[in-house]
Amino acid sequence: MINGYLRQDGRKGIRNHISVVYLVECARFVADEIVVPHREAGAQVIGFPGCFPNEYAQKMLERLGTHPNVGAVLLVSLGCESFNRFALEKVIKASGRPVKSIVIQKTGGTASAIQIGRDWVAQQVNHLAKTPRVEMGMDELIIGTICGGSDATSGITGNPAVGLAFDRLGAEGAACIFEETGELIGCEQIMAARAATPELAIELRASVEKAAMYYDTLGFGSFAAGNAEGGLSTIEEKSMGAYAKSGSAEIVGLIKPGDVPPTGGLYLMDVVPDGEVRYGFPNISDNAEIVEMMASGAHMTLFVTGRGSVVGSAIAPVIKICANPETFARLSEDMDINAGRILSGTSLADVAQEIYEHVVSVANGAETKSEALGHAEFILTYKSFDPIGPACLPA
Amino acid sequence: MKSDLLNKLLQLSPDDNVLVALGATQPGENTLADGRKITVQTPVTLGHKIASRNIARGDKILKYGVSIGSATVDILVGQHVHVHNMKSDYTATYMLSETADGDQTKGGQND
């Protein structure tokens, strides 16, 4: 059983954060400064840098401002950007969370905006300390997984271990999300065979075909230079390793960023934009993927790395599972779990058990390595999606 | 780490024509878990692939029991299998290489 935080809208979180949200890059410095004295108390900066409006970014910040791990939200606007702060404030207010907007052009400038913001956050810190605690079942937990800084060990140790842990978490009722359809290229047939319905199988295949077409147009696959150095030769090889994170359970649905899974079980998130190729690469770095899963309600992320990523995230804790024993030896201060032990004889089941136990203890408040180090990365860029079709969700 | 498992080559699926190095591996005879012997031709580091049989140019490279690309040249048993002798059947692989002129980017030799 998990000891969660009860929000006014009935959702349950595993953290009690205050989000300070910049609504354009021009307001970011003020947001960063507001958070400085309140970081230890759980205040974090998130936001969107663009001045042009974007429906996707609006939806992402609406979902994140009402994320169950977030208890209060401060919006920081320059004043002339196109982001619809009125709509965002309304959605957050309707969820019952305390929300305030600071418009720098109206408050007298940088220093006064920072002071007003810090004072408000200080009040919220006291207020949030009284958030009711509540029992939370495994069936109320949403867990995302990604892999980043992959090498050839990722697909042999860390990813299959997460897959095994996902099988158990999903069977116990948790909603489990895997994503990055650009890293499932080559796996579309075997993945579609695991769909709960024939109609969903068609949607799963189509999402990967869309990714292949999208990356082909851009001229680069979802493949970084370090992947090749780590022994991966092609996107198909990387994909097969990444695919192992999904385990072996039936795939019950396909969601897009911001869609909250309606039931427990395993979901694929389609992260590649719809329509013509625009705005550049779908997810420009690992944190963009974490952000999208959080927007779909993920309480935490299981992050498998081979080369050695050190990131964490704002809002939702990141458990780092190191696939490569040599990397673990070098970067153990950043790694929560050493899955590379599998190469020297530890069973996949033992590492999966350790991941499962970590999920439960982190849900109960235990700090991950990246949380203890103060990591709180966040990135949100331009994208465009059509809504999911009727065959995508469980009946 | 148990030393008897170091320098072993792992076959992930019965159909595979490549093996995965479980640690830095030097040229020489290497005994697989099932007792078969492979003579490694090229030194490789953790995670890299070694051909477990002769692979002809154009043949699929099989790992995890599925195709992960095609051979661009004839590959002999025991040789390193990587971007210099195989390519994606989807999108080209991007690599960074260090040269005397400093860091330069180039595409993999597989486009």
Domain count, chain B: 1
Strands A142-147 and A300-305: parallel
In the CATH hierarchy, which fold is given to the domain comprising A2-134?
A: Rossmann fold (3.40.50)
Chain A touched by B4 (CB under 8 Å): no
For the range A336-342, what are the long-range contacts, defined as Cβ-Cβ under 8 Å and sequence gap of 24 or more?
A336/A368, A336/A369, A339/A157, A339/A158, A339/A161, A339/A304, A340/A153, A340/A157, A340/A158, A341/A157, A342/A156, A342/A157, A342/A161
Task: Return the pLDDT at B110.
Answer: 34
Q: How many CA atoms lie within 13 A of A67 on its CB side?
A: 31
Q: Which of B5, B46, B93 sits opposite A233 (nearest CB)?
A: B93
Task: Return the pLDDT at B34.
Answer: 82
Give the mean model confidence (pLDDT) for residues B93-109. Answer: 53
Q: What is the CATH number of the domain that holds B45?
A: 2.30.130.110
* Contact (CB, 8 A) for A93 and A62: no
- Which residue ranges make up each domain of chain A? 2-134, 138-392
Q: In which band, very low, low, confident or very high, does the pLDDT at A27 lie, cut at 50, 70 and 90?
A: very high
| Per-residue pLDDT reduced to its tens digit, A110-164 | 999 999 999 999 999 999 999 999 999 999 999 999 999 999 999 999 999 999 9
Best of A147, A151, A236 to mutate (most B CBs within 10 Å, chain B):
A236
Does the distance separating the beta carbons of A345 and B22 come in below 8 Å?
A: no
| Per-residue pLDDT reduced to its tens digit, A249-295 | 999 999 999 999 999 999 999 999 999 999 989 999 999 999 999 99
| Per-residue pLDDT reduced to its tens digit, A219-254 | 888 888 889 989 999 999 999 999 999 999 999 999
* Contact (CB, 8 A) for B25 and B79: no
Q: Which residues of A45-55 are buried (b: 16+ CB within 10 A; e: fewer)?
A: bbbbbbeeebe
pLDDT > 70? residue B6: no
Cβ contacts below 8 Å, chain A against chain B, sum to 117
Q: Which of B22, B86, B90 sits opposite A233 (nearest CB)?
A: B86
Does the distance separating the beta carbons of B47 and A216 come in below 8 Å?
A: no
Residue A268 token pair: 């694929």
Q: Which of A230, A234, A345 sits opposite B5 (nearest CB)?
A: A345
The interface predicted TM-score of the complex, written ipTM, equals 0.84
| Per-residue pLDDT reduced to its tens digit, A38-73 | 999 999 999 999 999 999 999 999 999 999 999 999
Task: Return the pLDDT at B67.
Answer: 93
Does the distance separating the beta carbons of A235 and B82 come in below 8 Å?
A: no
Task: Return the pLDDT at B102.
Answer: 41
Average pLDDT, rounded, for chain A:
96
Best of A156, A184, A217, A233 to mutate (most B CBs within 10 Å, chain B):
A233
| Per-residue pLDDT reduced to its tens digit, B21-80 | 998 999 999 888 888 899 999 999 999 999 999 999 999 999 999 999 999 999 999 999
Min mean pLDDT across A307-311, A334-338, B27-31, B56-60 is at: B27-31
Range of the domain at B30: 3-107
Give the mean model confidence (pLDDT) for residues A185-189. Answer: 90
Q: In which band, very low, low, confident or very high, does the pLDDT at B101 lie, cut at 50, 70 and 90?
A: very low
Task: Return the pLDDT at B87.
Answer: 95
Residues of A with CB under 8 A from a CB of B: 151-153, 155-156, 185-187, 190, 212, 215-216, 219-221, 223-225, 228-237, 240, 306, 324-326, 343-345
Residues of B in contact with A215 (CB under 8 A): 91
| Per-residue pLDDT reduced to its tens digit, A76-85 | 999 999 999 9
Give the sheet arrangement for strand A43-47, strand by strand. A43-47, A17-22, A70-77, A99-103
Does the distance separating the beta carbons of B90 and A237 come in below 8 Å?
A: no
